[in-house]
Amino acid sequence: MSAEKIRTFDDFSRSASSRWATHEIIGRKPISEFAGAALDGISFKMRFDVRYGMNPKVEMDQLLIMCRDGRAETLIIGGTAYGMYKWVVKTVTQGLKQFDGSGNVLVSEVDVSLEEYMRR
């Protein structure tokens, strides 16, 4: 996506979790073993509206391409890279809210989920 346009979002949330292994012991409770941190996740909602100079279809298509290509990108919020690593788009859920008389999308809302991207 171009850095020349400002894209805003709502309902931003970040999740972090850990990984645990459970080892079964005959006649006793299982033993838990910390296996390390899991990948962080981020989710947010975006709204694209032609009244604000956006083409909702183009914006949604760009998010779909990022999701389908599996491209890892830096998430920049307020001019600063967010997180320690890059992120991949895991899911994109589109909601088409308004159309004109020709069937062009005027307003859309998109739910996006990202996952931290790690390489060896």
How does pLDDT run across 8-34, given as a tens digit for each residue?
899 999 999 999 999 999 999 999 999
Handedness of CA 25, 30, 36, 42 (dihedral sign): positive
Does domain 10-117 correspond to CATH entry 2.40.30?
Answer: yes
Name the pTM for this structure. Answer: 0.82
At 65, the pLDDT band (50, 70, 90 cuts) reads very high
Half-sphere exposure of 75 (CA within 13 A, CB side): 22
Cα gap 83→70, rounded to integer Å: 18
| Range of weakest confidence among 16-20, 42-46, 80-84, 102-106 | 80-84
Find out whether 87 and 97 touch, Cβ atoms under 8 Å.
no
Residue type, 95: G
Residues in the chain: 120
**What are the structural domain ranges in the chain?**
10-117
